[in-house]
Amino acid sequence: MGLSRQCFAVRQRAVQEKIMSERLACGCPATYPDWRNGDIDLGGQLVHDLGIPMFIHMPIGYENYLLKQKNNIERLELHEIWPGFNLTRTGAFRGQMICPLQEEHSPAHNIRILPSPFNLRVRLFHGDVSNMRQDIRAMQSELLDEGLLPKELYLSYLTCPECEEKRGGKRLMILRHWVKSEKLEKKLQRRQ
């Protein structure tokens, strides 16, 4: 039994080293989770949390904060699950970037565990940020039609201007946090 655990640990370290080397030179994720048009639960996931300044929902110094988050994670000797992949939540004057980590726990500053459940509706978007309004509205309508209450909106930039031509155009992952709502469910039942 002890030998099989050691073999598993060695394999896991090899996978981690392979994943760590998969960040592109521009900083974009070489790989990202295959969450296409569905629901996922990130509840209980350890993440690095970094606040970022915004001006009317536009990040200020976004690339600098991506580098700061990467350096903080390396300094803390933690490991990203998908190097370069993070979820960005905007706000009027303050936003947030969260990056999923491989470790199960850490007492470090800016590290937290997402509440359970932390359900997200995911949609992969091809195109410019200015054209995604209709997709976001459609996603919100789907959630409301299912009796689910939409909460925060997260974006994950999968390509940057440097690598978008080589990787098939502009790609974003749109993630909408949702919670179950008894009031919405009752309202839907009354309509039916």
Residue 32: pLDDT band (50, 70, 90) is confident
Inter-residue contact 159 to 85 (CB < 8 Å): no
| 172 pLDDT above the threshold of 60 | yes
- What is the arithmetic mean of pLDDT over 122-140? 90
User: According to the model, what pLDDT value does residue 121 have?
Assistant: 95
Three-class DSSP category at 57: coil
Residue 82: CA count within 13 A, CB half-sphere: 17
pLDDT tens per residue, range 66-94: 999 999 999 999 999 998 899 999 889 99
Tell me: the pLDDT tens digits for 108-117? 889 999 999 9
Candidate from 17-26, 161-170, 171-180 with smallest mean pLDDT: 17-26
pLDDT at residue 3 above 60?
A: no
User: Residue 142's pLDDT is what?
Assistant: 93
Mean pLDDT of the chain: 85
Cβ distance 177 to 160 under 8 Å? no
> What is the structure's pLDDT at 18?
46
pLDDT of residue 180: 93
- By C-alpha distance, which of 93, 96, 97 is closest to 54? 93
Q: Which of 163, 167, 156, 164 is nearest to 32 (CA)?
A: 156
User: What single-letter amino acid sits at 72?
Assistant: N
Average pLDDT over residues 174-185: 92
Other CB atoms closer than 10 Å to residue 188's CB: what's the count? 14
Q: pLDDT value at position 100? A: 94
Residue 23 pLDDT exceeds 50: yes
Percent over 90 (pLDDT), the chain: 52
Q: Which pLDDT band holds residue 9 (cuts at 50, 70, 90)?
A: very low
